[in-house]
Amino acid sequence: MKKFLVLILFVASVVAFSQTVNWAFLEEPISLNIWDYLGPNSTVWTGYIMGPRTAGLYAYGDVRFDYIPNLASDLPEITQEGDLWVYTVPLRNDITWSDGTKFTAEDAAWTLNTVLQLIVDYGLGGNWAGYVDPDYFVKAEVVDDYTLKCYFTAASLAKANFGALMVPILQKKYWAPKIEEALKTGNPLQTIYNYDTSDEPLLGSFLLKKWEKGAFIETYARPDYYDRDQVLTLYKNGAVEITNPNTGEKWVGYGEATGEKEIELTTGPYIENIIYRIYLNRTAAITALINGDVSFIFNSLGLQKGEIDQLKNVANVKLISNSVNGFRYMCFNMRRFPMNLKEFRQAIAALVDREFLTGRVLGGQAFPQYGVVPSGNVFWYNPNVEKIAPGAGMSYGERRQFAIDLLKKAGFRWVVEPKIEGDAIVRKGRGLIGPDGQRVEEVELLAPGPGYDPMRATMALYIERWANEIGIPVKANLVDFNYIVDRIWNEPFNFDMYMLGWSLGYYPDHVSDFFHSKRAGVGDWNAAGYQNPEFDKLADEFLAASNIEEARKLSFKLQEMLAEDLPYLVLFDTPVTEAYRTDQIEFPYEKTLSGLQYVDGVPTLVKALAK
Amino acid sequence: MLKFLSKRIVQIVILLFIYVTIVYWLMEAMPGSFTDKYLMNPKITPEIRQNLEKQFGLDKPAFTRYLYYMKNFLKLDLGISFSHFPKKVSSLIFERLPRTVFLFVTATLVSYILGYNLGKRAAWRRGKILDKTATFVGIVFWTIFLPLLAIFNIWLFGVILKILPLNQFINPNVWRGTDLSAQNVFLNLLLNAFIFLVVMMISLIFAQRVKTVAAKRTIVLSSAVVTLTVSIILWTSTGLGIYALDIILHMVLPVLTLTLYSFAGSMLVMRDTMLEVVREDYVVTAKAKGLPDRVVRDKHAARNALLPLITNFVISLGFTLGGGIITETMFSWPGLGRAYLEALNSQDTPLLIGLLVFTGIFVLLAHLIADVLYAFLDPRIRY
């Protein structure tokens, strides 16, 4: 009995005095083995835990997502040696692993070379190959303890700066013997994925304390975290300054660190522990938030309307809304008639009134998107694409008339030509005939059903109606998500038009992935079959750019080209709404692309409030 | 009996193979595959996707995969899960099994005990207030939408009255300071329940041998009290008591919800059978002999009416191993039911097939046990 009471007292004191925050998860992470996580088992839930555990040579800064040095002490210096491009990376000398060992260039070189070897020789897949592209990355070499040289076949922001140089660095001392041992087994990758890594030395700020399967994961802040007290200052002129009073480290980039400050953030961690509580349904997590059991809910899809209404009036619960780094779109199969005609695609685009659909039909639950780079990704987004969009700023009737004119311009005619007067359709169109005299047969628009995504289903039905009004025989087919995927990539390209969505990274190299003609093969990403030599040339230049400003200009041109040619008709996305308890925690900022969960809940900056 | 048993076992084995085959091809017929999720990541090229498909064995034709599966199945290997790659399906099942067994067997037991008691009383007082109330309440709960009942109970007992934990199967604040795993406590609780069951069965056998009712009652009650006391002492002295108590506290709401939802089934079976039995001559004779009402009801009528209920119970025990998707989701109790849902959502076919096969085996076994029990419980039945 005495033991029992002592235990209760201990538990009560732990709860009362430690700076612990409780966060709600809706699914359990799968594995904390980084090889597995960045290999076949990448889920957002695992990512939320892995984020604060790992570190790369470079990282994205808070709020603006500037590309900043992390384990490196400065941006890489690029030179050419023969056919190869060399990125020389100076490393910080004030960084230690969680076991007290110094971080050196040996760790970084070993990680990069091992990942490359596992990709080339053993087919290591998943996100590893997204970081280290064997067509570009050649090798990494140690110059001295704090200087690293990385060799690439071409200079490329996408493949070097935002690729290999951002890969999470692993400790050579810990992993080298394990990998060697695994390579001797019959299935090296499975052996590597199966390693228990609970004792792995890490570079991140939070380490695993306990994982109670199915219930919770607890992490604790490293008392010796090297970035503690580091100050990140973002200036309104675009400059970034990083200073650490403890180690004397200082870095300034993207201009002079003068003028008005946008934000100043001092790194903690200010909390001792994080408990990620696993709730298997949204209602349970929301009830836990209302009850005060958790301070913040991680949910990559954001809160739904009913949940927002429920939480709106709850005391001490604050709702925050952010735009997301993704879009939902409609793709035209440009291999088929009439989608291969630019005017046809533009006519469809002219009919689609995004503002009406998002604002009126979807009740403001979504916001319009215009280009293949989401508007929330401010640095890379070209605002001109909004003006290029066919039908921009036109009324209902004007849009229809414009679409008819576009079709006529391309040589289309009708058995019964549609007639528009003001905003009214006086006569519906019927029997659309192509420029070659060929009758336009039914054009199928594949879209996910209302069970999967009611917004896309609604949009598809509206597009069908609007197209039919002017005689374009579009038929919306609301089907299972997997069925669409099968029709596009497995059958392959057995579609006219489809509607799906993308979640994206910050660096917009997806523009090349989605539309370069070399990616138009079976199972590859250019499902539209977009072929434009001019675009390909610019996309290649964009991938090879080694200067961010130059890359930005090229990206803007690419976006404009796509807004004109319309292999994709980008439609909309939904903002991500999150909720947290203001009486329990304080976030240093709330405005951030894709929400606070996208930055793992900023564990090194969040503060627990005294109860 | 032996001939019957061997015949039934052969039937079960054949049935099992047909079942596995049907389950396998049903899963194969689903559109899409696990690797489709990589289609949403523009960084994963077709080559990388092919590599991943190769790792999962999806590069081989479906029939070849089926042959591999059956070969492994014969070696009791259920394969490797896709969504928890490269974890074995069997290890995932055994990780979640104790949580499911403990919750659903308890709920089934409580539900059947309640159903038995209410059913026999309702039939004995047919048309009276107890009969009408129990039937009405039972039917109301039986037809209610289970998630709604779960939410209502969570809201009432967890949010408004604050007397029961809201969700999850443990309280992280209690468990974070210990190296102990909940899995161990679940296994110990199951062991404890098993020992309790064995002790009670032995005491019942002993109780049959004594003559007076008082002595019988003393043996059964004292066995129960002693076993429970020893269990509590052991749990407390080892320091595990607080953890077991935490699990039991978290179990109250789901068990209550499941019991409310399902007791009507067993109650109505018991009531209907009792109504048949009370019309039998031997019950009339027992009443005519002047035996007390309670003795006639419990010893003469209820015992004979129990047979369908017991077989029903044994078969439903087989199904309990499949867990319950709704209950586990609503109460954040990740067991096998939840594993079904996760496997289905992620198209983890090996896990899904493994779970269905695992449940199927136990349902078939439960049927066999029910057949055998029939012969034991009813002397009129001979195979």
Residues 132-191 of A with CB under 8 A from B: 189-190
Mean per-residue pLDDT for A201-211? 96
Q: Do A214 and B96 touch (CB under 8 A)?
A: yes
CA A412 – CA A399 distance, rounded (Å): 17
Q: Is A36 on the interface with B (CB under 8 A)?
A: yes
Residues 6+ apart with CB under 8 A from B65: B28, B57, B58
Residue A355 has pLDDT above 50, yes or no: yes
Q: Which of B30, B41, B95, B183 to mutate to test the interface with A (most CBs of A within 10 A)?
A: B41
Q: Do A523 and B96 touch (CB under 8 A)?
A: no
For B32-50, write each residue's pLDDT tens digit: 777 777 776 766 777 777 7
Among candidates B36, B42, B84 on the partner chain, residue whose Cβ is nearest the Cβ of A513: B42
**pLDDT band at residue A39 under the 50/70/90 scheme:** confident
Among candidates A8, A280, A483 on the partner chain, residue whose Cβ is nearest the Cβ of B242: A8
For B226-284, write each residue's pLDDT tens digit: 999 999 999 999 999 999 999 999 999 999 999 999 999 999 999 999 999 988 899 98
Q: A293: distance to nearest CA of chain B, Å?
A: 10
Lowest mean pLDDT among A74-78, A124-128, B107-111: A124-128
Q: B221: distance to nearest CA of chain A, Å?
A: 26
Spell out which residues of chain B touch residue A522, defining contact as CB-CB under 8 Å.
Answer: 46
Q: Is A278 on the interface with B (CB under 8 A)?
A: yes
Burial level of A89, CB count in 10 A (0-12/13-18/19+)? buried
Residue A14 has pLDDT above 50, yes or no: no
Q: B162: distance to nearest CA of chain A, Å?
A: 10
pLDDT of the residue at A266: 97
Burial level of B208, CB count in 10 A (0-12/13-18/19+)? exposed
- 3-state DSSP: chain A helix, strand, coil percent, rounded to 5? 35, 25, 40
Q: Do A126 and B48 touch (CB under 8 A)?
A: yes
Mean per-residue pLDDT for A552-573? 96
Spell out which residues of chain A touch residue B56, defining contact as CB-CB under 8 Å.
Answer: 40
Residues of chain A with pLDDT > 90, as a percent, come to: 79
For A466-504, write each residue's pLDDT tens digit: 999 999 999 999 998 888 988 898 888 899 999 999 988
Q: A3: distance to nearest CA of chain B, Å?
A: 7
CA A160 – CA A35 distance, rounded (Å): 20
Q: Do A11 and B46 touch (CB under 8 A)?
A: no
pLDDT of the residue at A6: 47
Among candidates B30, B175, B241 on the partner chain, residue whose Cβ is nearest the Cβ of A212: B175
Spell out which residues of chain B touch residue A193, defining contact as CB-CB under 8 Å.
Answer: 85-86
Spell out which residues of chain A touch residue B347, defining contact as CB-CB under 8 Å.
Answer: 482
Q: B61: distance to nearest CA of chain A, Å?
A: 14
Residue B130 has pLDDT above 70, yes or no: yes
Mean per-residue pLDDT for A263-289? 94
pLDDT of the residue at A611: 56
How far, CA to CA in Å, does A294 sit from each of A206, A215, A216?
A: 19, 14, 12
Residue A17 has pLDDT above 50, yes or no: no
CA A465 – CA A461 distance, rounded (Å): 6
CA B214 – CA B290 distance, rounded (Å): 20
Residue B382 has pLDDT above 80, yes or no: no
**pLDDT band at residue A70 under the 50/70/90 scheme:** very high
For A146-177, write each residue's pLDDT tens digit: 999 999 999 999 899 999 999 999 999 999 99
Three-state secondary structure string covering A235-257: ECCCCEEEECCCCCCEEEECCCC
Mean per-residue pLDDT for A373-377? 90
Give just the sign of the alpha carbon dihedral B352, B358, B361, B362: negative
Q: Check: CB of residue A609 under 8 Å from CB of residue A19.
A: no
Q: Is A28 on the interface with B (CB under 8 A)?
A: yes
Mean per-residue pLDDT for B294-299? 88
pLDDT of the residue at A50: 95
Mean per-residue pLDDT for A202-223? 96
